[in-house]
Amino acid sequence: MELKNSIYVLITIIATLMLVVSCSPVEEITDDPIDTEDPVDPEITDDIEDEDSSSISAIAVEIQYTDDGTAYLVNPDDIFSGGPTKGGIGVDRGIPALSDENIHFVDVFEADEWIDEDELVLALHYKGEKRVYPLQILVWHEIANDVVAGIPLAITYCPLCGSGIAYERTLTIDGESVVAEFGTSGKLYNSNLVMYDDLTDTYWQQIDGKAIVGDLVGQELTDISIDTVVWRDYKLAHTDAEVLSQDTGMDRNYGNDPYGSYYESSLLFFPVDNEDDSIHPKTVTFGVYVEGVYKAYLEDDLILDNSITDTIGSTTLTIERDSVGLVSITDQDGNEVVKERDFFFAWYAFHPETLVYGR
């Protein structure tokens, strides 16, 4: 165990140096679980709008408090610095999240001039609109605060976990629905991006979208289906899509991925709570939560079969992958089940009780 901890320390130092060099400019790193530059209004309360009262009760049991009264689901001592400081939102600081002024779109044909054939992109098909967010851009920003079909969305990407996830940006504060923007906190839990909102500075976990430290602990973001696909395949089938432009107003070396071969290796830069060595840690996984059960479907199985039918409790799921790589999951009534695309190690770190299809 001492050897393993020493290895993690060494890896953390290396990863920190890599990220600090890659993300410019970088300010002083702080280990405070909540940034105190923007004090939170003490009158803001934890209003949770959830139709499932049992879920509210379960979350209430989990909420704990630090000595200074800060609410948390994840102990701030278990949240680690990832290297860069707290990122700006539309401001070039740390790993800066994109805001309205940074987000512009070009057509597929123009984007094809600078996106390589084998590059991965996030593809969002939402309310009749098609938008593409190249990972060569998001690897440097991790969050794009966009508005799609009039709905404020956060398009998020954690390179360490291979997780591209979209959320609605609507929160509940003092019983009112308000729209927030999200930024990178510079922190990680289970090697996963920890976000903050610009209204209360609450910390949010990218995987699962839960508020984990701060005034809004117990709330959970509404997730939206989004896919990670290869540009070569997607561009031919969806020529009418809009593509996030490299013209963000920030000086980044788009097209150069600072993580190198990390995505294929078994190496993890940061420690995680739970591990399962029976499956390669970077195996692409689609995870769902149905009837209180977490279950994972491996991309390799979907590529082999294209369609899988499975049953969880009384729910029959159909998991399909089309020729472009878009994955859809529906129940027996045709209702969409939103999936989460992660590396297996990340899905398992948060959900060690998960079932794995075919295993």
The span from the CA of 328 to the CA of 337, in Å, is 8
**In sequence order, which residues have a C-beta less than 8 Å from that of residue 13 and are 6 or more positions away?**
none
CB contact at 8 A, 162 and 156: no
State pLDDT tens for residues 323-346.
Answer: 999 999 999 999 999 999 999 999
**In the structure, what pLDDT confidence band is assigned to residue 60 with cuts at 50, 70 and 90?**
low
**In sequence order, which residues have a C-beta less than 8 Å from that of residue 223 and are 6 or more positions away?**
165, 166, 167, 209, 338, 340
Distance set, CA 321 to CA 9, 232, 334, 345 (Å):
39, 16, 16, 22
- Give the pLDDT score at 61: 56
Q: DSSP label at 97?
A: B
**In the structure, what pLDDT confidence band is assigned to residue 48 with cuts at 50, 70 and 90?**
very low
State pLDDT tens for residues 210-269.
Answer: 999 999 999 999 999 999 999 999 999 999 999 999 999 999 999 999 999 999 999 999
Phi and psi at 260, nearest 5°, equal: 55, -125
Residue 79 pLDDT exceeds 60:
yes
For tokens 């289970």, name the residue: 190
Phi and psi at 24, nearest 5°, equal: -120, 145
Question: Which amino acid appears at position 172 of this protein?
Answer: T
**In the structure, what pLDDT confidence band is assigned to residue 50 with cuts at 50, 70 and 90?**
very low
Check residues 17 and 77 and name the one with the higher pLDDT.
Answer: 77
- Give the pLDDT score at 59: 52
The span from the CA of 285 to the CA of 291, in Å, is 19
Q: What is the mean pLDDT of residues 296-303?
A: 97
Tell me what the pLDDT averaged over the chain comes to: 88
Residue 277 pLDDT exceeds 70:
yes
- Across the strands, what pairs with 224? 166
User: What are the strands, taking DSSP E only, across 220-274?
Assistant: 223-224, 227-230, 242-244
- Give the pLDDT score at 35: 41
CB contact at 8 A, 84 and 94: yes
Percent of the chain with pLDDT strictly greater than 70: 83
Residue 34 pLDDT exceeds 80:
no
- Give the pLDDT score at 21: 37
Tokens encoding 169: 């940006």
The span from the CA of 198 to the CA of 189, in Å, is 20
Q: What is the mean pLDDT of residues 11-40?
A: 40
Q: What is the mean pLDDT of residues 39-64?
A: 46
Low-confidence winner among 6-15, 69-78, 160-169, 294-303 (lowest mean pLDDT): 6-15
Check residues 11 and 119 and name the one with the higher pLDDT.
Answer: 119
Q: What is the mean pLDDT of residues 23-32?
A: 37
CB contact at 8 A, 291 and 305: no
Check residues 33 and 139 and name the one with the higher pLDDT.
Answer: 139
Residue 47 pLDDT exceeds 90:
no
Check residues 50 and 209 and name the one with the higher pLDDT.
Answer: 209
